[in-house]
Structure 1
Amino acid sequence: MTTQHSTVSEVMTRDVVTVRPDTPFKEITSVLSSHGISAVPVADARGAPMGLVSEADLLRKQAEQPAGGQAAAPGWPREKAKARAENAAGLMTTPVVTAHADWTVAQAAREMDRHRVKRLLVVDETDRITGIVSRSDLLHVYLRPDEEIREEIRADVLQGMLRLGGDEVQVQVHDGVVTLRGEVEKRSTAQIAERLAGGVEGVVTIRPMIDYAIDDRTAEDHRQPGIEATGPRRRPL
């Protein structure tokens, strides 16, 4: 039994509204309003992404308007150009950051963070838009029930992957925070258990409280020669 991770295809929006490069400003505003969305992809004739127009892009025009008889504050040339734009080609932000439907949610989150964007366009092997995934979509994994998380860690990670018995390490989950308690022979086993459990979807953080007898990083027993062992030693991992 192996741990399964949600993919982009499971959380993305499939019915994607798009506009063409020549779509006028007012029509783009209408599209956003009527569909209740904050951004719309700009696609070419075959459905490949060219850019993205967001509410922020549209608001450039308002920001550049004089207020109270005062001229608008100076801005970057690109911002000035967007304020004067009349259609999607002039308004859109490029390049667009894309993802693929078979990516894991974690992969998509890393890509979103790396590019500092709020959403990714999902494309197929021909580069055509098949969906869109937002930050809120990726956060859905944290709505997973505690009991479901606990059972996956217990059955898939501890018993399935590490072959640990039910009495060796116990799992408690509260609001996504996982506490691992128990006793194993080697420190490496405790560290692997912590790392694998932390990779289970819905886990907010891990609180490791696993005892071990041997620090196999140096292949040395914590118990010094000539001293009777009174039990395993607990170390923070």
Structure 2
Amino acid sequence: MAWTMVSCSDCGATMRRLGSPSPTALCAMCVDDGGAAMRESVHRASSARLEQRLGRFDGAGGFDGAELPAHPEKRWEKLAATAIDEHLRRLADAQPGRTGLVFIGPTGIGKTRAAIAMTRAVAAVEPAGVAAMTESDLLSPSVAPWELPTHVAQLLSNRHTIMIDEVGSVSRPADQIMAGWRTVVEHVHASPLPVLFIATTNRQSWSESGGLGEWMGAQSVSRLRECCEMATTGWTDHRINRDHLDWKNALLAGGRRGGDGA
């Protein structure tokens, strides 16, 4: 088989090709440029789909502008920045691992806004593989119990960042909820991808008495605690500009995870 001289179909550069000439051929530079263009196209499409999903969350909350501060000061901001940095390093190095943050506290204090800000921070770097949903999406009451594990697995497949809002609110029998969460936690721990898990909940502790343990089941909570921190965004209901006094007093007294309420 002989070498022949051909021209790149894109830029016209002359190159050698083994075998008979073909009507189309790309030089190494144009192949690389094409790959970069393809990656950029996928990046834009993934970002657009994610923004469309995030648009389903309460727009009145101003979530379209939710971003993390450039210089974290509050406890939850520092935890979020640390989790994101660790996760992005793992993504860049293709290393498995898990990290996460669960935002707790009463309604209106900015939990969802914070979760969306974290989600966007990852998506700005690698939007393909980012999932954002509510617990009702995840454990949809319209899905039959025997189909729930498959439904959950499909939603989380190939996802490196998982944001789940309003944990503790879906309307399903308790045994089905716990079974669904077992599937979620198994996915988080078994995924070959690095996983960043982000959640929000009105339940205000990990405990089995009124907390996430009672909702998800003790085993699921135990495994989540291996990779997730718990934090709160404060005590002020920003919708009505009024403090949740019981929550504020508990935080200031050190009675909740999150310490200073920030």
* Range of TM-score over shorter length: under 0.3
Q: Please, what TM-score do these two structures have when normalized by structure 2?
A: 0.26
When Rg is computed on C-alpha atoms for both structures, the one with the higher figure is 1
Q: Please, what TM-score do these two structures have when normalized by structure 1?
A: 0.28
Higher relative contact order (CA 8 A, sep 6+): 2
